[in-house]
Amino acid sequence: MSNTENTFRIEKDSMGEIRVPQEAYYGAQTQRAVQNFPISRLRFSRGFVRAIGMIKRTAAQVNVQLGLLDEKIAGAIQRAAQEVIDGRWDEQFVIDIFQTGSGTSTNMNANEVIAKRATEFLGGARGSKLVHPNDHVNIGQSSNDVIPTAIHVAGVEAMATHLLPALTKLQRALLDKAAMFDRVIKIGRTHLQDATPVRVGQEFGGYARQVELGIKRVKQASESLAELALGGTAVGTGINTQPEFPGLVIQALSDAMRLELREALNHFEAQGAQDAVVEASGALKTVAVSLMKIANDIRWLASGPRCGLGELALPEVQPGSSIMPGKVNPVIAESVIQVAAQVIGNDLTITLGGQWGFFELNTMMPVMAHNLLESIEILANASANFADQCIAGLQVNEERCRAMVEQSQSMCTALAPEIGYDRAAAIAKEAFKTGKTVREVAREQKVLSEERLAKVLDPWQMTERGIAAKQK
């Protein structure tokens, strides 16, 4: 026997014999999938593998309660599934994301790894079926309900433990800056042109509210994902599963993961469609759009430092140029913008995937799972990093802000209710033509008394609701 043959063992499935790497914990069906889908280097994420391990562990626990599984075998399955949950066998999950649209190959990958590890615990050989992947590990389950359940469980957990805390951190950082900068008045801008004054704190308060609403949207999406397909088995009817099985497994999952999970009200909807994943991705896309706006605003407000807007000063985290000494770039903001673009692209794939529900099954679940969980992960990482590396260290250039407010033609807006729109517009044009301020032109033209002019052109008044010219 050659050395090459020594590195493989022969396994059998319903299609016949196949060579499997000797040290592999997976079996024949996984090996066929490895050979069938040599597409990319993308594999299911840690969170997804953890979720499917949780499902298999709780299923074994419940199947003992229901009298469907021997206690010794169930104990070995639970022990093996716990190792999957803990990440010990992540390298054994070898199947490409671009595989069968139901994710059957990955469900069998999990069943085989757990069965073979459980077999070892019971004293059997790794290549044997002392613990069977279908007859023992997969009791009461189908890939068609396990895979959507794993997507939902992984999504809910990642949102709760990773994304929502990161967004909360970012919101608080923005609120801190809103309070810190609230006494600083700057020029507002619409259409990239000068508009009436605002306080820097008001601007940052708007950013904080965007993130707050994003948190609300993610929570709403998580609530939809909390409804699980488990119990529908092949097509939603629940064939080959005990009626009590899904409720008991989902309750056990909820308790173990400290999540509020529940059985789908309609299993035909839960398996024939993946609308909750589309909804969740839409919420993530909205958060991404918010972060892109915030990051881009901060990038522009910090442009310069001398020949741009220069109203904000970013923390200097790394040199910005290989050729221009001393240059510092808005790298953290640019990182956030790129993450946002990736999430928006992921959402398009998920949207198309959601359309691929035909009759009783959606057949784009693996790529939907990958994109959803990637979007959650990178949004969370980018949000926390944005808060720590950029927002926390932001400074405002008060002198620059004050000077630009006074130079702006938009100051004439407060004059309009007092002297009329046309006359105020003429003053604005004269200010632009001569390079003088609106205040200087108005004073020269004696449109108001000095005392009244000072009152009407008070920038602080312009940052609050009301008609500045009517203030007494």
Residues acting as catalytic residues = 191, 321
At 184, give phi and psi (nearest 5°). Answer: -95, 125
DSSP of 179-193, one letter per residue?
A: HHTTT-EEEEEETTE
Q: Rounded to whole angstroms, how far apart are CA atoms 112 and 114?
A: 5
SS3 357: strand
Handedness of CA 201, 206, 207, 211 (dihedral sign): positive
3-class SS of residue 264: coil
Beta bridge partners of 16: 13
C-alpha to C-alpha distance for 402 and 305, rounded to whole angstroms: 16
3-state secondary structure of 227: strand
In this structure, the number of other CB atoms found within 10 A of the CB of residue 260 comes to: 11
Dist. CA 95–CA 410, nearest whole Å: 61
Give the separation between CA 18 and CA 25, rounded to whole angstroms. 15
- What value, to the nearest 5°, has the Cα angle with vertex 107 and ends 250 and 269? 55
Strands (E), 158-234: 185-190, 193-199, 227-228
Strand pairing of 357-358 and 312-313? unpaired
